[in-house]
Amino acid sequence: MPEFTVQMGVRDYECDLQARVNNAVYQNYLEHARHLFLKARGIDFAALTASGIHVMVTRAELDYRRSLGPGDAFMVHLRTERVSRLRMAFIQRIELVGSGALVLDARFVVAAVNAKGKPCVVPELEALLDD
């Protein structure tokens, strides 16, 4: 499956006293990109949750390479990979617009559970994987 890419920009209030994006804000950027990716692939995350399927992050790995600051424009790149029969990963990176400088590499492992709390395979998510 081709890589998904979305452009975003840093808002002033996301920065700390040192005029750098707070480390926790990067997870918001990455989650927003994952939701946009799902939507672009015809998956409504809110509707999936309302149907009793909960997709949860079970592992988050973030490697910070450089900081973003106020007004920086950046691209979030995303692809998926299978981890196991019941888990998949979102492989993501953030790069500065213009220079392409690497800001962050990340890997989020997710699993779905049904309304009874049991791990399950979700066909819509399976369709996102290249086997």
Q: Tens digits of per-residue pLDDT, 44-75?
A: 989 999 999 999 999 999 999 999 999 999 99
pLDDT band with cut points at 50, 70 and 90 for residue 1 = low
Other Cβ atoms closer than 10 A to 76: 24
- Spell out the residues 6+ positions from residue 57 whose beta carbon is closer than 8 angstroms to its own: 108, 109, 110
Decide if 33 contacts 74 (C-beta within 8 A). Answer: no
Predicted TM-score of the model (pTM): 0.92
Q: What pLDDT band is residue 23 in, cutting at 50, 70 and 90?
A: very high
Q: Where are the alpha helices (DSSP H) in 13-122?
A: 25-40, 45-50
Yes or no: say if 101 and 19 are a contact pair by the CB < 8 Å rule: no
CATH of region 4-126, choose from 2.40.50.100, 3.10.129.10, 3.20.170.30, 3.40.50.2300: 3.10.129.10
Q: How confident is the model over 63-119, as pLDDT tens digits?
A: 999 999 999 999 999 999 999 999 999 999 999 999 999 999 999 999 999 999 999
